[in-house]
Structure 1
Amino acid sequence: MSLRSRINLIIFQTLVFSLMFALFGRLFYLQVLESGKYQDAAISIQSRDVVTPAVRGAITDINGTPMVVDLPGLVVSINRIEIDKQPDKGVKVLAQVANLFQLEYSDIYQRTRLCGELPRDNRAGCWNGTRYQPIPLVGGTSQDLALKIMENADLYPGVEVQSVPIRSYPSLEGENVAHVLGYVGSVTDEDLKNPEINYYRNEVVGKTGLETKYNQYLRGTPGVRTFLVNRKEIVTKQNKNISAIAGNNLITNIDAKLQAGVEKSLEAAVKRARASGYRGDSGAAVVLEIKTGRVLAMASYPTYDPSIWQKGLTVKQAEDLFSEAKGVPALSRPLQGLFAPASTFKSVSVVAAAAAGYNLNTSYNCPASVEIGTRTFRNFDSIAAGRIPLDVGLAISCDSLWYQISYDEWVRDGGLRPKSSANDYFFKAAKDFGVGLLTGIDLPSELKGRLPDRQWKQNWYEQNKDFYCNYKDRAKKQDLTAYLIEIARENCIDGNKVRAGDAVNFSIGQGDTLVTPLRLAQIYAAIANNGTYYKPQVARAIVDVDGKLVKEFKPEVADTIKIEQSTWDFLHRGLRMVVTRGTGAGVFSGFPIEISGKTGTAEVFGKNPNGSAKDDTSWFASYGPTNDPQYAVVMMVSQGGFGASTSGLGVRNIYETLFGVSGNKVNPEKAVFPNGVPSTIAKVDLKKVAAKVDLTGVKVGGVKLK
């Protein structure tokens, strides 16, 4: 063999041995070093998980009374895989189910369609999960109807009945609390993508309100049983079995009895407005504990039955929730409703005037009208009160004296050519009270409100300049009036300027200023508290099923307004005068508890869907008792007319519930908090539910109710 041949053989042998070594090395790596990984992968291909959702934690009031709790119930679901296999794609079966439960076929069809299967403008009530999990159709169905389905399985192929925990609302005190509690819904594809939480398809999670804010505590841990199957889907063995762990309970600061009273008072105020000839389309009411910021009650009107999400939302119900004609019941007005605060804002203007150097203890002119440039700004009902002390002006809600003060300050700050050193006392006072900021309440979707200061005007101008400068081409035909065309011309030229009219309107809570009812309640709590105000809190504590404290939510100071004590003293005196001899005197006549407050009647620009002009917004903001303030109470009725006669009377009714007032006498035994707001954390008492619901032998969260 030649030398060359030997070399070639050696090279070939080396190559073969190298390949064999690499092959055996790879085999060793896969079978030994990485065996666990591939074993898991093989098992996962052959495994099937059966998930048992955990019992979701209860949400209770401040006394431990359940306001929402999981109770065992029967749920009728649709299996889309089975339905889609049928020749008619399940049309006959769905029609039979609709007939059985006295529902519209169109609603049943809509609920069983994936949202992606429907046009974007027609997805109300659609299914946002996948076709591979049961689609809940009817929650909390009766045993009789459930048995009809189970006993006639051949007539209802693809229809399943399961016993699962259902979110229930016992309403033991008659409370609704829908907007605060929120609701739960099925896990979506977006939820499943969350890398921080391992969700399962058939779980429910919080969607709004407290349910979503504290979902991590309420959710619990689902139970999982994993089975191994062969190619024919026959179970070969059980791989693991993890029991479900019930979620923790959330104790809130809401008092169910007070909440029910506030809801009734608000509804009565709206209906009173309608009886007086106003549209009265909606309203809100808030009760805060002044020294802690705890939300003791918060109501929105119109509201809705929170159980509709569990029973199965129809297309009509989904449309009604967001219908303007129905008052948009889905909107939580205490923290999402934005309204001009009107004369309730004059308390902020008092602080601004004091900072600007105005004497709060002297008299000012209250004419019927004031000429500002080319415009005439009129006092309420064009009434002149002559020269009066400022506290009397606050009590009778004189507008014209504030026109003069705010206009003078606008001129001092440079008018349309503002100085770089402009004081902007009115804007600064409003900012100190948090106007234009979030309150930080522990609920999702809160809106900020609006502080129309110089920066806001500049931002607004940049966004809208093109529209106003081309108004005749871009505006709707019905908006091409001489007045609106002139307004557009002015906005095109100097819409970024704070005009004199902006300044005087701001001082009386009109113009572009917007606040939520919750923010106004926080403002009046700060006034009562001499400048210290707290972050509003709904949650009190998280406790486990055994009552052990998991987390306590303590009061948090949001900010402190530092001004002279004499200014606070003036405000306290003036706001008490509103109730004793001012615009609120008639409503609170003979009331046995001293209350301080301020009326507000806000003019609203615009028209209703039927073309009628919008009515005024009714406000009453207050705190009490005057000498030892405990509660801040605010009510607002949209298109409700006068502040005193609509909202003022509603606020009086709330104080009657708080203090146990009947007629003009106090019955301490009927007071909501006879010994003050509880400072200790209550024990969750799920047994209270059994008094209203027949749950013999049923366990909820490990507790036998009877």
Structure 2
Amino acid sequence: MLEALLKKKNNDGPFRYLYWVIILVFAVLTIRLMWLQLVRGEYYNSLAEGNRLRAVPLAAMRGVMYDRNGQILVGSRPSFMATYVPSQGSMTEDELYTLSRLLNVPEEKLREKTAKIKSSYVPTVLAADLTQDIVTRIEERRNELPGISVDVQPIRYYPYDMMAAQIFGYVGQIDEEELEQLQGEESVSGITQIGRAGLEAYYDSLLRGKDGSRQVEVDASGSPVKELERKSPVDGHNIHLTLDLNLQKALESAMDAQIASGVGTSGIAAVAIDPNTGAVLAMASRPAYNPNWFTRGITEAEWRQINDNPNHPMENRVIAGEYPPGSTFKLVTGAAALELKKVTPDEMIFDSGRHWLVDMRNAGGEALGWINFTEALAKSDNVYFYEIGRRVGIDKLEEYAKMFGMGKPTGIALHGEEAGLVASEAYKEKNFHQDWYLGDTFNSAIGQGFQLVTPLQAAMMVSEVANGGIQYRPFIVSRIDNLDGTPYKIFAPEQVGTLEVSKSTLDLIREGMRNVAEESGTAGSLFAGFPVQVAGKTGTAENFSGRDHGWFVAYAPYDHPRIVIAVLTEQGGFGASSSGPIVKTMLEEFFHVGAYALKADGSANKSE
């Protein structure tokens, strides 16, 4: 008996090892099951739900931009967009090929977009603003394109195309990196459009609103079957601008007319200001671009048209273009000389055609003989201003230029404003390691040499002369609304300083500017018979890389200023002929010349 048991025990040896192997396998499976269900259960449950449920984002309507009279300048409209959420791994080459043909989007572009996808829950916009034909073709082949959806979402719309493009800026689709940065705000999704430039960028957080979502049940191909839950989006804040739509149209039409005639093809910048508040009435830069291109997804050809243009269509020249002020700077030189008693209003200075100390001459080689201050300003006589610049000296010229606001940004609520440059001995020494000469002072006194201003700075300088020395911060947004239409924020005129120049000096400068637009002035022929008395100043600024730039700055009416205009035409030559017609067109629109009769104070009544 004992021998039989021992024999059996010895025979069970191999099975004993199999027994322990089976126990080990069951132990591993049990531990794995506990890991999947207890530790990672919530994660895998969400994946399973993700195969059945999907959150479809609902884009918020961006806030509307209105002009000062309530006209819509920038809005949004419904559009079809194609989005992609991976449902069965990456998109195949066949699917890319099919989708490329349906959307009219290059395969490479689609491949780049899908390659950047990090989440299987966040939709990626492949194409926006689809036509009805494209939508129909996609729906017909829906089964071949898993993860593709077509939804109706609001899209940014610029009804006037290129008008004020550099002011409004443009919007673009949010990318993965930006989405991660903004996700904490709980207001963005993969279909969000964010501001990239101009006011769209400056006020993006207010204009954008908060995206919503709807949870839908989907089938195996990812197509929605039933909506289960919805969170409505919250629209963005509406913004009211100080711009006047009709004046803006007139400005840009006049700019385009000059370009069509061959003047200003390199670039034009223009701005109109209310001198009594600092409100921007119109602002434009040429060349320009169409921000609608970016809204729907810019094509390679459109991008090349912008990017390859050597004149930089996306630059807002009004705030970012820095130019020698030319003879418009004579307002500053004159103010300094009169205030410092370096010249009296009636003192006659002899112009022989060249200065007697340095052989520097008038631009046209003319000699005007004995002239006083207002005559010299009206005729833009260089020799006269060389002399009073010599008397004032570069240090005081620098001081007065800064007093007028040169050399620092105006503070307008737009990104990219430049500061310009005020000429000084220190600047030349630091940057060129050279001594300062009398000829440098002469150049500075007539707005040449190292002096640089933006067109907006030039407008604000004239505004200070026109309104009696009040320095305002220019502004372009007058009000931001709450969702119910009540004011969220109101922007009132902001005085930032007072020009320390006497009324008598400003009166003399204004008189000289008035004479510019009269028969004997440099713009007399342009404004002959004009029903509003205009005060202006022409300027021709040397440009070492081409033809001279043309300036015209003006305000009107002379006795009761209501509008200030500054126009710079790159390589336009004489300011009266290149920039003057643009100024005149704007004044005709502003005062309704031809359709209105004007009171003595410059206000308008309809003609009978």
TM-score (norm 1): 0.72
Q: Which runs of 5 or more residues in structure 1 are unaligned?
A: 1-37, 99-104, 118-126, 414-423, 462-490, 607-613, 677-706
Contact 2:342 2:392 in 1 (8 A): no
SS at match of 2:355: strand
Structure 2 residue 169 is matched with structure 1 residue 185: no
Deviates more, 1:569-578 or 1:450-459: 450-459
Distance 1:365 1:130 in 2: 79
Deviates more, 1:427-436 or 1:131-140: 131-140
Aligned to 2:438: 500
Structure 2 residue 253 is matched with structure 1 residue 264: yes
Corresponding pairs, count: 558
SS at match of 1:51: strand
Judging changes above 3 Å, is the alpha-carbon distance between structure 1 residues 81 and 346 closer, same or farther for their aligned structure 2 residues?
Answer: farther
Counterpart of 1:153 (choices 129, 142, 146) is 142
Q: Which amino acid aligns with 1:200?
A: S
Aligned to 2:340: 356
Counterpart of 2:466 (choices 518, 528, 538) is 528
Counterpart of 1:297 (choices 254, 264, 282) is 282
Structure whose alpha-carbon radius of gyration is higher: 2
Report the Cα offset of residue 322 of structure 1.
3.1
Report the Cα offset of residue 128 of structure 1.
11
The correspondence of residues 606-685 of structure 1 with structure 2, limited to 5 A, is 606=545, 614-662=546-594, 666-667=596-597
Contact 2:337 2:392 in 1 (8 A): no
Report the Cα offset of residue 530 of structure 1.
1.2
Distance 2:150 2:241 in 1: 34
Cα deviation code 1:10-39 (max 9, x no counterpart): xxxxxxxxxxxxxxxxxxxxxxxxxxxx99
Q: Which runs of 5 or more residues in structure 2 are unaligned?
A: 1-39
Q: Which amino acid aligns with 2:265?
A: G
Aligned to 2:31: none
Q: Report sequence identity in percent.
A: 31
Aligned to 2:484: 546
Judging changes above 3 Å, is the alpha-carbon distance between structure 1 residues 225 and 135 closer, same or farther for their aligned structure 2 residues?
Answer: closer
Contact 2:162 2:289 in 1 (8 A): no
Q: Which amino acid aligns with 1:319?
A: R
SS at match of 1:547: coil
Judging changes above 3 Å, is the alpha-carbon distance between structure 1 residues 516 and 51 closer, same or farther for their aligned structure 2 residues?
Answer: same
Aligned to 2:389: 406
Q: Which amino acid aligns with 2:398?
A: F
Counterpart of 2:75 (choices 63, 66, 69) is 69
Distance 1:372 1:130 in 2: 75
Report the Cα offset of residue 455 of structure 1.
3.9
When the two chains are superposed, the root-mean-square deviation of aligned CA atoms in Å is: 3.6
Contact 1:269 1:637 in 2 (8 A): no
Structure 2 residue 382 is matched with structure 1 residue 384: no
Report the Cα offset of residue 267 of structure 1.
1.7
Q: Which amino acid aligns with 1:658?
A: F
Aligned to 2:60: 54
SS at match of 2:384: helix
Judging changes above 3 Å, is the alpha-carbon distance between structure 1 residues 634 and 318 closer, same or farther for their aligned structure 2 residues?
Answer: same
Contact 1:112 1:135 in 2 (8 A): no
Distance 1:334 1:167 in 2: 25
Cα deviation code 1:275-326 (max 9, x no counterpart): xxx663110111111111111111111112221112321122222223344x
Cα deviation code 1:145-164 (max 9, x no counterpart): 32122123356666542211
The correspondence of residues 24-35 of structure 1 with structure 2, limited to 5 A, is none
Counterpart of 1:339 (choices 308, 316, 323) is 323
Distance 2:45 2:492 in 1: 48
Aligned to 1:112: 110
Distance 1:128 1:214 in 2: 28
Q: Which amino acid aligns with 1:267?
A: D
Distance 1:91 1:80 in 2: 16
Aligned to 2:544: 605
The correspondence of residues 414-429 of structure 1 with structure 2, limited to 5 A, is 424-429=395-400
Contact 2:148 2:222 in 1 (8 A): no
Report the Cα offset of residue 673 of structure 1.
8.4
Structure 2 residue 159 is matched with structure 1 residue 176: no
Contact 1:93 1:157 in 2 (8 A): no
Cα deviation code 1:478-516 (max 9, x no counterpart): xxxxxxxxxxxxx4xx33x33323221111111121111
Q: Which amino acid aligns with 2:260?
A: K
Judging changes above 3 Å, is the alpha-carbon distance between structure 1 residues 441 and 382 closer, same or farther for their aligned structure 2 residues?
Answer: same
Distance 2:317 2:120 in 1: 36
Aligned to 1:217: 206
Judging changes above 3 Å, is the alpha-carbon distance between structure 1 residues 372 and 189 closer, same or farther for their aligned structure 2 residues?
Answer: farther
Q: Which amino acid aligns with 1:502?
A: D
Judging changes above 3 Å, is the alpha-carbon distance between structure 1 residues 656 and 113 closer, same or farther for their aligned structure 2 residues?
Answer: farther
Aligned to 1:517: 455
Contact 1:288 1:633 in 2 (8 A): yes
Aligned to 2:504: 566
Distance 1:40 1:224 in 2: 22
SS at match of 1:352: helix
Report the Cα offset of residue 428 of structure 1.
0.7
Contact 1:175 1:260 in 2 (8 A): no
Distance 1:605 1:144 in 2: 54
TM-score (norm 2): 0.83
Aligned to 2:493: 555
Report the Cα offset of residue 249 of structure 1.
0.7
Q: Which amino acid aligns with 2:294?
A: W
Distance 1:365 1:43 in 2: 94
Structure 2 residue 313 is matched with structure 1 residue 329: yes
Contact 1:599 1:619 in 2 (8 A): yes
Counterpart of 1:585 (choices 504, 524, 532) is 524
Contact 1:360 1:570 in 2 (8 A): no
Counterpart of 2:91 (choices 85, 94, 110) is 85
Counterpart of 2:475 (choices 537, 544, 551) is 537
Report the Cα offset of residue 141 of structure 1.
2.7
Distance 2:297 2:78 in 1: 16
The correspondence of residues 119-158 of structure 1 with structure 2, limited to 5 A, is 133-154=122-143
For CA contacts below 8 A with separation 6 or more, give which structure has more relative contact order: 1
Distance 1:372 1:189 in 2: 66
Cα deviation code 1:370-401 (max 9, x no counterpart): 2656xx32211111111111110010001112
Aligned to 1:10: none
Report the Cα offset of residue 132 of structure 1.
7.3
Distance 1:116 1:585 in 2: 63
Counterpart of 2:295 (choices 278, 292, 310) is 310
Report the Cα offset of residue 91 of structure 1.
3.7
Aligned to 1:7: none
Judging changes above 3 Å, is the alpha-carbon distance between structure 1 residues 75 and 560 closer, same or farther for their aligned structure 2 residues?
Answer: same
Judging changes above 3 Å, is the alpha-carbon distance between structure 1 residues 169 and 82 closer, same or farther for their aligned structure 2 residues?
Answer: farther
